[in-house]
């Protein structure tokens, strides 16, 4: 098991520390990251999430995953 830290930032670099999770492997990390991003983009509001990215780091601070929000948003209508 590994402790991972999730934070996200916009295109301007403003960063938000959001949460920590214990995961079994990379597949768990990826699934948790997608769930996390989906929960943010489904929150009612006017925020355009296309320029945001979720960064996942391990307990040593090594970046293990970047997940652009746009990859889960699809194309604008």
pTM: 0.85
Which of 11-20, 33-42, 47-56 has the lowest average pLDDT?
11-20
Separation CA 54–CA 18 (nearest Å): 10
pLDDT at site 47: 84
Separation CA 68–CA 27 (nearest Å): 17
The domain total for the chain is: 1
pLDDT at site 58: 92
Domain boundaries, position 29:
2-73
- pLDDT above 90: residue 31: yes
pLDDT at site 75: 66
What is the 3-class SS of the chain, one letter each residue? Answer: CEEEEEEEECCCCCEEEEEEEEECCHHHHHHHHHHHHHHHHCCCCCCCHHHCEEEEEECCCCEEEEEECHHHHCCCC
């Amino acid at each position: 098991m590994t402790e991972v830290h999730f934070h996200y930032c916009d295109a301007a670099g403003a960063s938000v520390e959001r949460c920590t999770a214990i995961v079994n492997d990379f597949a768990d990390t990826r699934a948790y990251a997608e769930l996390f991003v989906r929960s943010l983009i489904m929150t009612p509001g006017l925020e355009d999430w296309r320029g945001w990215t979720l960064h996942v780091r391990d307990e040593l601070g090594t970046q293990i995953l970047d997940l652009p929000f746009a990859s889960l948003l699809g194309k604008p209508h």
